[in-house]
Amino acid sequence: MVFRQQMQAKVEEIEEILKKALPQEKSLQQTIFKAMEYSVMAGGKRLRPMLMKESFELFGGKQRDALYCFMAAIEMIHTYSLVHDDLPAMDNDDYRRGRETTHKVFGEDMGILAGDALLNFAYEKALAGIEKMEDAGCGVRALQILARKAGVYGMVGGQVVDVELTGKPLTEEQLGFIYRLKTGALLEAALMTGSVLAGAAQEDVLRMEQIGQNVGMAFQIQDDILDVTSTTQELGKPVGSDAKNEKTTYVALYGMEAARKAVEEYSGKALAALETLSVKSPYLNALIKSMIHRKK
């Protein structure tokens, strides 16, 4: 099967897992269930659960039921971050993944609550996954990584600095800090938790972190490039959002040429680190390569 078809099949499998993981019942708090479903089932590339699963398979993981809970958890955390990032108090964006943002459809109050709900539900799911495991210790370690990488030492920390420094000129160090935390941390978590759930050795988990960090930098710089070069239709979200929000990006600091080179370099580092593992994953290799040229 060619890579694109493989990827499509994997996305469909992930969407099934996500659908099943969301609250199903009818109840008085129905609105929040709808807002959660609207936000999570809006499309999206499903990269984080995909990376988690590939990493799990790479290290010969067996307990898929627990993995599926963690895959749902990381996509819920990612989705909450997008829902909150789009709020009027942050980037104030009306479109995401080709449709109106959660707060535009459900109101700002429900937008905030949908993010809160997804974040909490993610941890409920991950804990339910741990309960299913024979070696719960691995599950606890995976959850520690997920929580830390999503929180103040990871994604939230990066977002704080991003918000605080918006409209100000950034040093290379500040930009790197924001990208590593805001975007990189959750990608690191995806690769690390997959390997931890599979029972991988600590040195391999650290190598997955390294790969995630490089993938994260490449991914965010490509995001900056697409914000300038793509179209709203292709991206499913407004282009020129960085300029509108006075964001200093890699492209703004160093120019398009350097940005493209940086994406190649960081991706190259990720691929080189992947090569050093004793286990091989042609799909993961192709996935990282595909991110260099991604159009959305």
What distances in angstroms separate CA 77 from CA 46, 71, 117, 124, 223, one per listed residue? 12, 10, 10, 12, 19
Among 45, 62, 244, 295, binds ligand FPP (CB under 6 A): 45
Nearest alpha-carbon partner for 180 in 163, 157, 196:
157
What are the φ/ψ torsions at residue 37 (nearest 5 degrees)? -65, -45
Output 37 or 100, the one with its CB closest to Mg ion. 100
- By CB under 6 A, tell whether 101 contacts ligand FPP: no
Looking at 82, 178, 215, 259, which residue binds ligand FPP (CB under 6 A)?
82
20 binds ligand FPP (CB under 6 A): no
- 102 part of the interface to ligand FPP, by CB under 6 A: no
Q: Total number of residues binding Mg ion (CB under 5 A)?
A: 2
Residue with Cβ nearer ligand FPP (21 or 133): 21
Name residues whose C-beta falls within 8 Å of residue 241's C-beta, 6 or more positions apart in sequence.
91, 93, 227, 247
Contact string 58-97 vs Mg ion (x = CB under 5 A) = ---------------------------x-----x------
DSSP 32-86: HHHHHHHHHTS----HHHHHHHHHHHHTT---HHHHHHHHHHHHHHHHHHHHHHT
Number of residues that bind ligand FPP (CB under 6 A): 15
Task: Closer to ligand FPP by CB, 19 or 45: give it.
Answer: 45
Q: According to the binding rule CB under 6 A, does residue 81 interact with ligand FPP?
A: yes
Residue 44 binding ligand FPP, by CB under 6 A: yes
Nearest distance from C-beta of residue 278 to ligand FPP, angstroms: 29
Q: Are 223 and 183 in contact (CB under 8 A)?
A: yes
Tokens at 6, concatenated: 């493989």
* Residue nearer to ligand FPP on the CB measure, 59 or 80: 80
DSSP 100: E
Asked if residue 223 binds ligand FPP (CB under 6 A), the reply is: yes
CB atoms within 10 A of CB 66: 25
Residues that bind Mg ion (CB under 5 A): 85, 91
Residues that bind ligand FPP (CB under 6 A): 44-45, 47, 81-82, 84-85, 97, 155-156, 159, 182-183, 220, 223
